[in-house]
Amino acid sequence: MFNAPEGFRSGFVSFVGRPNTGKSTLTNALVGEKIAITADQPETTRHPIRGIVHREDAQIILVDTPGLHRPRTLLGERLNEMVKDTYADVDLIALTIPANEKIGPGDRWILEAVRAAAPKTKLMGVVTKVDTVSRDAVAEQLVALHELLGGECEVVPVSAVKGEQTDVLIDVMVSLLPEGPKFYPDDHVTDDDANTRMAELIREAALSGLKDELPHSVAVEIDEVLPSQDREGVLDVHAVIYVERAGQKRIIMGKDNRRMGRIIHNARKEIIKLLGQNVYLDLRIKVLKNWQSDPKALGRLGF
């Protein structure tokens, strides 16, 4: 805990919603730095990521969770349990609904799950992706979300991509948090360790351009990180991409290993940015059969 002025507000805020509603993009926009990976595929986020928003009068710890969904695998079940455990520990839950999709049964199911897991936690609504539709459509969605949440719940429209209304969202969140201490020092943006962030950046590069079911089958593990013996100031990062079937390995590799070369190039660039030093990335692919439904494999990969 750190000293904070009188009247300082602080607390934990969890963005919840269906997969692909823009939670990770919003987390990055509010923190002002990329701490959560984003991809076009749903269910990209695999573990709760804490990003810290600093203000003179407040500190918000954002918990970006995997999207709640009806699970098809043991991994899906464990991710859902992880999300529900997170609800119990936060001060405010913000339900995210994209402006370009009508509220449906999936959103209602999530709201029921939230209320069952954290009946006393404050709720608010966030309409995301407002830059993708007309003003009238945004207004319509705001009314619909207000009706869904009921009561006096605050609802804020935002565009994380354009940075529209993000300051307003922070103001509203701060107003709903209790007075409290400063949990993290001012220069802290996340409590994720470097290895976790590197693994996520590699997974993001691997997911880029993939379609259908394959993204769910991709996991990344950092093997070891060592100073290079041959090159001064270079860090050797050894990592493994796991897939479930040999056919998936071929897709990741691409024709003449070109896709794999692109993954290494893009991931290395992001890791250098993260660590602030030159990196040699040694990346291999292994088949770990049906790892999403294998308790041992899930344990090994941190689920």
Average pLDDT over residues 200-228: 82
Domains 9-176 and 194-301 share a fold: no
pLDDT digits (tens, 9 = 90+) for 149-160: 987 899 999 999
Please, which contacts does 116-121 make with residues 24 or more away whose CB atoms are closer than 8 Å?
117/84, 117/87, 117/88, 118/87, 118/88, 118/90, 118/93, 121/87, 121/88, 121/90, 121/91, 121/92, 121/93
Q: Quick one: fold of 9-176?
A: Rossmann fold (3.40.50)
pLDDT digits (tens, 9 = 90+) for 46-74: 556 678 999 999 999 998 766 566 677 78
Q: Which residue has the higher pLDDT, 106 or 82?
A: 106
215 marked as part of a ligand binding site: no
130 marked as part of a ligand binding site: yes
282 marked as part of a ligand binding site: no
106 marked as part of a ligand binding site: no
38 marked as part of a ligand binding site: no
Kindly list the domain boundaries of the chain, sorted by start residue: 9-176, 194-301
159 marked as part of a ligand binding site: no
157 marked as part of a ligand binding site: no
- On whether the CB atoms of residues 69 and 98 are closer than 8 A, the answer is no
104 marked as part of a ligand binding site: no
231 marked as part of a ligand binding site: no
Highest mean pLDDT among 65-74, 106-115, 136-145, 223-232 belongs to 136-145
128 marked as part of a ligand binding site: yes
Residue 92 pLDDT level (bands cut at 50, 70, 90)? very high
CATH assignment, 194-301: 3.30.300.20
247 marked as part of a ligand binding site: no
Give the model's pLDDT for residue 45. 53
Tokens of 170: 């922070």
17 marked as part of a ligand binding site: yes
Taking alpha carbons only, the member of 115, 123, 121, 166 closest to residue 145 is 123
302 marked as part of a ligand binding site: no
74 marked as part of a ligand binding site: no
131 marked as part of a ligand binding site: yes
